[in-house]
Amino acid sequence: MFDKILIANRGEIALRVLRACKELGIATVAVHSTADADAMHVKLADESVCIGPPPARESYLNVPALLAACEITGAEAVHPGYGFLSENARFAEILRDHGVAFIGPSPEHIRLMGDKIEAKRTAKKLGIPVVPGSDGGITSDQEATRIAREIGFPVLIKAAAGGGGRGMKVARNEGALSTALSTARSEAKAAFNDDAVYIEKYLGHPRHIEIQVLGDGRGNAVHLGERDCSLQRRHQKVWEETPSPALNAEMRSRIGETVAAAMRELKYSGAGTVEFLYEDGEFYFIEMNTRLQVEHPVTEMITGIDLVNEQIRIAAGNELAIRQEDVLFEGHAIECRVNAENPRTFAPSPGRISYYYPPGGLGVRVDSAVYQGYSIPPFYDSLIGKLIVHGKTRNECLSRLRRALDEYVVDGIETTLPLFRALVRHRDIIDGNYDIHWLERYLSGGEGAE
């Protein structure tokens, strides 16, 4: 096992990793930008290193500074959290070349899944169902038209290097195809410096359902069930829950087993998430994330498995200790991503938290790195805390969530708490009756129901 781990991240996820390290008796190194000198992860770590000025590309994405921090502190491994360098194959390679372990999958697997065209091809080969569409990149308007006619309109143009919902454009008919193609291309070029795009069938009312996996790189892999992340705004998840209100135990184990078998064949190492759209009883692969996800706590709540602990054990070379039959799903869990934003316009609301009171009690977990008097810097994402609630049944979970949301007080800045207080009381949410477009419809005043 490692003696010392450097956490190449900030905010609640840095704290989450730090907690797992402490429980394993591993010393921790925090890194931070000058804007984060007062951050909680810096206060709680055994050591800390300032790695640069506020902009992320000069600090949290600064590979030479991170390497130097490993060297100075003698850290043997790096946990990248999510975002920043967590899906950067080159970073994983550089660490490997310097004898530092990367707590995540191999650079080869990161690279493979980072290219969405390659990822889709691989998924198909491994027996995972995919969204109908082009087999590779689209090179001309003619090719796009031919494929779009084949699969039928509407179609979605997506960036091969995509992420965060960028470079995605819907074309509802043939007339709109050429413009959608060129807009997607230029957006992709601007965001990822790669204008490769592909085309797939646009699903009208799917749910987003993803499967959590753990593999040890030796051909052992298990799935930890699904998360339903259909409540999204601008393709960004807002609320996640498990089990999905749309699946039964048999459907869960069928798709879970398909994914676990694929991961065994791939000899995948570490934690990963295979994302699907689910419509009319069918699953369609959209992408795989080769890292820990923001919404991982809901899986932890119903399985009792500490995902970060498992990631660390696997990266240290241990065989997977969990067998599929050991994975038991108990109760229901929901996560709300609380952002420092106006709950109607979603304009960021950084600033000083004048009063902070997080909820507590049975089945309530708050993963957050803020505290009373803390000033949220304007340089990073606006997530200030994840409220995760567990109950024996979905109804118990919803009642507990209602209660916890009402207890949560964050003063001095605006937050999205009022949005969640409304959602948790909405009939469609209570009934579990929502798809990936529900929240946008609700926010535009059209209510969620179709």
The residues of the shown chain that bind ligand ADP, judged by CB under 6 A, are 131, 156, 162-165, 200-203, 206, 208, 232, 235, 275, 277, 286-287, 436
Residue 278: CB minimum distance to ligand ADP, A: 11
Q: Tell me if the bond preceding 243 is cis, omega within 30° of 0.
A: yes
Q: Are 147 and 133 in contact (CB under 8 A)?
A: yes
Residue 288: CB minimum distance to ligand ADP, A: 9
Tokens of 54: 């506020």
Q: Which residues are within 8 A (CB) of 25 and not within 5 positions of it... i.e. 6 or more apart?
A: none
Residue with tokens 């960036």: 159
Q: Are 172 and 152 in contact (CB under 8 A)?
A: no
Residue 163: CB minimum distance to ligand ADP, A: 4
Helix (H) / strand (E) containing 256: helix 249-266
CA separation for the pair 410, 353 (Å, rounded): 7
Q: Which is nearer to ligand ADP, 235 or 402 (CB)?
A: 235
CA separation for the pair 365, 387 (Å, rounded): 6
Q: Is 291 a catalytic residue?
A: yes
Residue 165: CB minimum distance to ligand ADP, A: 4
Active-site hit among 10, 185, 207, 291: 291
Q: Report, in this order, helix, strand and coil percent for the chain, each rounded to 5.
A: 35, 25, 35
Question: Which class for 275: exposed (0-12), middle (13-18), buried (19 or more C-beta within 10 A)?
Answer: middle
How far is the first Cα of the chain from the last one, in angstroms, to the nearest whole number?
Answer: 53
Q: Which is nearer to ligand ADP, 165 or 378 (CB)?
A: 165
* Residue 445 main-chain phi, psi, to 5 deg: 90, 0
Q: Which is nearer to ligand ADP, 29 or 144 (CB)?
A: 144
Residue 4: CB minimum distance to ligand ADP, A: 33
Q: Which is nearer to ligand ADP, 377 or 432 (CB)?
A: 432
Q: Which is nearer to ligand ADP, 172 or 352 (CB)?
A: 172
Q: Which is nearer to ligand ADP, 54 or 163 (CB)?
A: 163
Residue 431: CB minimum distance to ligand ADP, A: 20
E strand map for 148-260: 155-159, 169-171, 197-201, 207-216, 221-233, 236-242
Written as one letter, the residue type at 254 is R
Catalytic residue numbers, as ranges: 291
